Protein backbone atom coordinates (compact mmCIF):
# COMPACT_ATOMS: atom_id res chain seq x y z
CA UNK A 1 0.00 0.00 0.00
CA UNK A 2 1.06 3.62 -0.30
CA UNK A 3 2.35 5.27 2.87
CA UNK A 4 0.03 6.26 5.74
CA UNK A 5 -1.95 9.42 5.01
CA UNK A 6 -2.23 8.72 1.27
CA UNK A 7 -5.39 7.74 -0.58
CA UNK A 8 -5.67 4.03 -1.34
CA UNK A 9 -8.25 2.99 -3.91
CA UNK A 10 -10.61 0.08 -3.24
CA UNK A 11 -11.78 -0.91 -6.68
CA UNK A 12 -13.75 1.88 -8.33
CA UNK A 13 -16.23 2.59 -5.53
CA UNK A 14 -14.24 3.56 -2.46
CA UNK A 15 -10.94 4.83 -1.21
CA UNK A 16 -9.45 4.85 2.27
CA UNK A 17 -6.76 6.60 4.25
CA UNK A 18 -5.01 4.79 7.05
CA UNK A 19 -2.57 5.89 9.69
CA UNK A 20 -1.32 5.64 13.23
CA UNK A 21 -1.86 7.97 16.17
CA UNK A 22 1.91 8.36 16.31
CA UNK A 23 4.94 7.06 14.50
CA UNK A 24 4.95 3.33 15.39
CA UNK A 25 7.32 2.57 18.24
CA UNK A 26 7.51 0.12 21.12
CA UNK A 27 4.23 0.03 22.99
CA UNK A 28 0.68 0.49 21.81
CA UNK A 29 -0.14 2.43 18.68
CA UNK A 30 -3.69 3.12 17.58
CA UNK A 31 -4.34 2.32 13.95
CA UNK A 32 -7.03 4.28 12.20
CA UNK A 33 -8.79 3.89 8.89
CA UNK A 34 -11.23 6.24 7.24
CA UNK A 35 -13.23 5.11 4.23
CA UNK A 36 -14.80 7.37 1.64
CA UNK A 37 -16.90 6.88 -1.44
CA UNK A 38 -15.39 8.11 -4.69
CA UNK A 39 -17.62 11.17 -4.22
CA UNK A 40 -15.77 11.94 -0.99
CA UNK A 41 -18.54 10.95 1.42
CA UNK A 42 -17.46 9.08 4.55
CA UNK A 43 -18.53 5.45 4.43
CA UNK A 44 -18.92 3.13 7.40
CA UNK A 45 -20.57 0.16 5.73
CA UNK A 46 -17.40 -1.84 5.22
CA UNK A 47 -15.79 -4.18 7.70
CA UNK A 48 -12.05 -3.77 8.21
CA UNK A 49 -9.62 -6.18 9.83
CA UNK A 50 -5.91 -6.05 10.50
CA UNK A 51 -3.30 -8.68 11.15
CA UNK A 52 -0.05 -7.36 12.61
CA UNK A 53 3.19 -9.27 13.02
CA UNK A 54 6.88 -9.56 12.28
CA UNK A 55 7.49 -11.18 8.87
CA UNK A 56 10.88 -12.56 10.01
CA UNK A 57 9.36 -14.16 13.10
CA UNK A 58 6.34 -15.95 11.66
CA UNK A 59 3.90 -16.91 14.37
CA UNK A 60 5.83 -15.22 17.17
CA UNK A 61 3.67 -12.11 17.51
CA UNK A 62 1.04 -12.42 14.78
CA UNK A 63 -2.20 -11.03 16.09
CA UNK A 64 -4.41 -12.80 13.57
CA UNK A 65 -7.18 -10.87 11.86
CA UNK A 66 -8.83 -8.54 14.34
CA UNK A 67 -11.78 -6.29 13.45
CA UNK A 68 -11.50 -2.51 13.78
CA UNK A 69 -14.10 -0.79 15.93
CA UNK A 70 -16.08 2.13 14.53
CA UNK A 71 -15.90 5.35 16.52
CA UNK A 72 -18.86 7.71 16.78
CA UNK A 73 -17.13 9.91 14.24
CA UNK A 74 -17.03 7.07 11.77
CA UNK A 75 -13.34 6.33 12.15
CA UNK A 76 -12.20 2.72 12.28
CA UNK A 77 -9.83 2.29 15.23
CA UNK A 78 -7.78 -0.54 16.67
CA UNK A 79 -4.84 -0.65 19.09
CA UNK A 80 -1.80 -2.63 17.94
CA UNK A 81 0.87 -3.73 20.40
CA UNK A 82 4.42 -3.35 19.16
CA UNK A 83 6.23 -5.71 21.49
CA UNK A 84 9.67 -5.84 19.93
CA UNK A 85 11.96 -3.66 17.82
CA UNK A 86 12.49 -4.79 14.24
CA UNK A 87 10.53 -5.11 11.01
CA UNK A 88 6.75 -5.21 11.29
CA UNK A 89 3.98 -5.70 8.79
CA UNK A 90 0.29 -4.89 8.99
CA UNK A 91 -2.12 -6.59 6.64
CA UNK A 92 -5.47 -4.90 6.08
CA UNK A 93 -8.56 -6.71 4.82
CA UNK A 94 -11.73 -4.88 3.73
CA UNK A 95 -15.02 -6.71 3.44
CA UNK A 96 -18.35 -5.67 2.02
CA UNK A 97 -21.33 -7.84 2.93
CA UNK A 98 -18.90 -10.48 4.18
CA UNK A 99 -16.96 -10.62 0.92
CA UNK A 100 -13.31 -9.55 0.72
CA UNK A 101 -12.96 -6.58 -1.64
CA UNK A 102 -9.44 -5.41 -0.78
CA UNK A 103 -6.26 -6.66 0.81
CA UNK A 104 -3.12 -4.62 1.36
CA UNK A 105 -0.06 -4.51 3.54
CA UNK A 106 2.37 -1.97 4.92
CA UNK A 107 5.81 -2.63 6.38
CA UNK A 108 7.65 -0.49 8.86
CA UNK A 109 10.61 -0.71 11.18
CA UNK A 110 10.60 0.02 14.88
Which of residues 28 and 37 has its CB atom nearest to Cu ion in the complex? 28
Select from 12-20, 33-41, 42-50, 78-86 the region that touches Cu ion (CB under 5 A): 78-86
Instruction: Rule CB under 5 A: say whether 54 interacts with Cu ion.
Output: yes
Residue 21 has φ and ψ, to the nearest 5°, of -70, -20
Question: Which of 26, 30, 38, 57 is in the footprint of Cu ion by CB under 5 A?
Answer: 57
Instruction: Rule CB under 5 A: say whether 26 interacts with Cu ion.
Output: no
> H-type helices in 17-93, by residue range?
none
CB of 90 to Cu ion, least distance (A): 14
For the stretch 64-100, what's the b/e string if a residue is b when 16 or more beta carbons lie within 10 angstroms of its beta carbon? Answer: eeeebeeeeeebbebebebeeeeebebbbbbebeeee
Select from 21-29, 45-53, 82-90, 92-100 the region that touches Cu ion (CB under 5 A): 82-90
Nearest-10 Cα torsion for 100, 14, 11, 49: -30
Summarize as ranges the residues that interact with Cu ion (CB under 5 A): 54, 57, 60, 84
Amino acid sequence: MPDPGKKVLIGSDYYFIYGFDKKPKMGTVIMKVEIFTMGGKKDTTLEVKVDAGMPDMKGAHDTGDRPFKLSQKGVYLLPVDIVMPGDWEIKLTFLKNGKVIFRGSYKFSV
